[in-house]
Amino acid sequence: MSTVAHRRFSLDNLLAYAIVGAGSLIMLIPFYFMFIFATHTDREIMSVPPPLLPGDAFLMNLEILLTRIPHFWKNVGWSVYIALMTTALNLFFCSLAGYAFAMYEFRYKKQLFALVMGTMLLPAFVTMIPTVLVMSWLGWLNEPRALYIPAACTALGVFLMRQYIGSAIPRELVEAARMDGCSEFGIFWRIVLPLTGPALGTLGLITFIASWNNFLGPLIVLSDMEKFTIPLALRSLQGTGQTPWGAICAGAAIAVLPLLLIFSVASRRLIDGLTAGAVKS
């Protein structure tokens, strides 16, 4: 019986690995062709069958990219700045709100949290016109702060931090710090926040990637091409005569590299944030 069960377990494992491997391969195919096409000319890209191995036209595509978008590196800098500001603000305000929802009791707490969660049901296009009107009223149109300040706190971030703090940090620890005379903000900053490292790493990674890949937000509030983020700058290459697909793929490959680097460094933190608790009572 044990041998039969072991074989069944091995077959189940093999099937699971096969399904996961096939799904991973399908997801990686677009990235593979993006890097391959970045090293080929447009004529080679459009050939049938398309090239499957790296070529020698990457520097030429990069030259075309920098000629068509002379401020490309400035666009990269704006993307980095906006993504970092969005991430920093999200980590602070979402953790603060999550701590309040997890550790405090106040009137209409459940209703307010339900209202925050309800904002996740709103499609992005519903808030487009109000966002533009508010940014125009504030005089923030064509300014990077019109992107990172409205995104300073998200429902997903509040939910993630509230769930983590509520399950990983015992109330006794907070009460003990309060009895020792620590201020309410001091409890959050000195005790709670250092214990939420895995959740902060998870939220930071999600927020940075979402901000880096954001296309709709910059599209509706930015008009100066020198202030474009990378997705918007690469999109501007289309509709300008013959589309330089090799240059677009080269720019996309450059844009993906920081994400790959960050994910490779923070993937362990992401897993810890989804599975582990910082304190066990």
DSSP the chain: -HHHHHHHHHHHHHHHHHHHHHHHHHHHHHHHHHHHHTTS-HHHHTSSSPP-S--S-HHHHHHHHHHH-TTHHHHHHHHHHHHHHHHHHHHHHHHHHHHHHHH---TTHHHHHHHHHHGGGS-GGGGHHHHHHHHHHHT-TTSTHHHHTTTSS-HHHHHHHHHHHHHHS-HHHHHHHHHTT--HHHIIIIIIGGGGHHHHHHHHHHHHHHHHH--HHHHHH---GGG--HHHHHHTTTTSSS--HHHHHHHHHHHHHHHHHHHHHHHHHHHHHHH--S---
Range of the domain at 238: 71-275
Sign of CA dihedral 215, 85, 161, 257: positive
Do the domain assignments include residue 82? yes
Could you tell me how far CA 255 lies from the centroid of its own chain? 13
Q: Give the span between the Cα atoms of 119 and 115, in whole angstroms.
A: 7
**Sign of the alpha-carbon dihedral angle for 185, 186, 187, 193:** positive
> Which has the closest alpha carbon to 141: 59, 196, 222, 49?
222
Contact 262, 272 (CB under 8 A): no
The reply to whether 202 falls in a domain is yes
Within a domain: residue 193? yes
Q: What is the pLDDT of residues 195-210, one digit of tens each?
A: 888 888 889 888 999 9
At 221, which CATH number? 1.10.3720.10
Say if residues 84 and 152 touch (Cβ distance below 8 Å).
Answer: no
User: Is residue 246 a part of any domain in this protein?
Assistant: yes
Structural domain includes residue 43: no
For residue 279, what pLDDT is reported?
A: 42
Q: Which amino acid is at 33?
A: F
In a domain, 207, yes or no: yes
Domain count, the chain: 1
In a domain, 86, yes or no: yes
CA angle in degrees (0–180, nearest 5) for 27-32-37: 135
pLDDT band for 273, please (50, 70, 90 cuts): low
Answer left, alpha or beta for residue 118, where phi above 0 means left and psi between -120 and 50 means alpha. alpha
* Residue 214 clears pLDDT 70, i.e. is over it: yes
Give me the pLDDT at residue 281, please.
42
Q: Could you tell me if residue 256 is inside a domain?
A: yes
pLDDT per residue as tens digits for the range 157-191: 999 999 999 888 888 888 888 888 888 888 889 88
Compute the average pLDDT of residues 224-248. Answer: 84
pLDDT over threshold 80, residue 19: yes
Residue type, 223: S
The model's pTM: 0.84
Please name the residue that has the structure tokens 């994400």: 259
Neighbours of 193 (CB within 10 A): 17
Query: Does pLDDT of 80 surpass 90?
Result: yes
Q: At what angle do helices 72-103 and 197-213 cross, to 10 degrees?
A: 140
Rounded average pLDDT over 39-60: 86
Whole-angstrom Cα distance, residue 224 to residue 138?
18
